[in-house]
C-alpha cells in the first residue's frame, strides 16, 4: 500500500505526462480506491487524482476513471465541494468493494486497453447511451464543435441556430 503523499505524487507524474499511460492511470486508480476503502479511509488522494485530470483537460480519461471508481466501489458518491482543496468530495459510506469489477479492470490493464476508448465502459457493463456526461465535459465538447464551425466559415448566429435545432430534435 502507498501513503497519501506517494499517491498524490504518482498522480501528478501521470497527469503531467511523465508516466502517462492507460495502464498506469488504471493501476493508480485501483490503488487509490483501495486506499480510500482501507484502514485510513483517506479519499483525498483520489479526489486530487480526479481534479488533476480535470485541470489538464483530460475529459475522456476522467470519465473513464470515474466509471472505474464507481464500478470498483458501487455506492460511492462523487460531488463538487468548494471547501475541499481539490474541489471534490468523495463519500464511501454506502460503497462496497466489487471484486468482479476489480478483476475486469485488471484484465483491461493486462490487455493494454486505452483509457480514452469505449472498451472500459463496455467491459464494466455501461453502454454509451447511459454514460455519465458531466456539464464540464459537455461544455468542452460544445466548445470544440463551435470552433470547428467557426473554422468552416459559419457565423455565430447560424451556428447557434443549428445547435438549437439539433437540441430540439434530441
- pLDDT, one tens digit per residue, over 42-79 is 999 999 999 999 998 888 899 999 999 999 999 999 99
Q: Does residue 52 contact residue 42 with C-beta atoms inside 8 Å? A: no
pLDDT of residue 158: 82
The number of angstroms, rounded, from the C-alpha of 33 to the middle of its chain's C-alpha atoms is: 13
Residue 7: CA count within 13 A, CB half-sphere: 24
pLDDT of residue 19: 67
**Within the chain, which residues score under 70 in pLDDT?**
18-19, 126-134, 170
pLDDT of residue 109: 92
pLDDT of residue 129: 44
pLDDT of residue 32: 94
Domain boundaries, the chain: 4-131, 133-170
pLDDT of residue 68: 95
pLDDT of residue 128: 43
Amino acid at each position: 500500500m502507498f501513503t497519501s503523499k506517494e499517491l498524490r505524487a504518482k498522480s501528478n507524474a501521470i497527469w503531467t505526462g511523465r508516466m502517462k499511460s492507460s495502464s498506469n492511470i488504471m493501476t493508480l486508480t485501483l490503488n487509490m480506491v483501495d486506499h480510500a476503502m482501507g484502514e485510513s479511509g483517506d479519499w483525498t488522494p483520489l479526489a486530487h487524482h480526479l481534479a488533476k485530470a480535470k485541470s489538464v483537460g483530460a475529459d475522456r480519461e476522467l470519465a473513464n476513471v470515474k466509471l472505474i471508481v464507481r464500478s470498483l466501489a458501487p455506492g460511492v458518491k462523487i460531488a463538487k465541494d468548494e471547501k475541499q482543496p481539490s474541489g471534490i468530495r468523495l463519500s464511501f459510506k454506502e460503497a462496497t468493494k466489487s471484486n468482479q469489477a476489480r478483476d475486469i479492470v485488471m484484465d483491461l490493464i493486462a490487455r493494454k486497453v486505452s483509457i480514452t476508448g469505449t472498451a472500459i465502459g463496455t467491459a464494466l457493463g455501461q453502454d454509451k447511451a447511459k454514460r455519465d456526461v458531466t456539464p464540464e465535459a459537455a461544455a468542452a465538447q460544445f466548445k470544440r464543435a463551435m470552433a470547428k464551425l467557426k473554422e468552416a466559415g459559419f457565423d455565430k448566429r447560424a451556428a447557434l441556430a443549428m445547435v438549437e435545432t439539433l437540441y430540439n430534435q434530441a
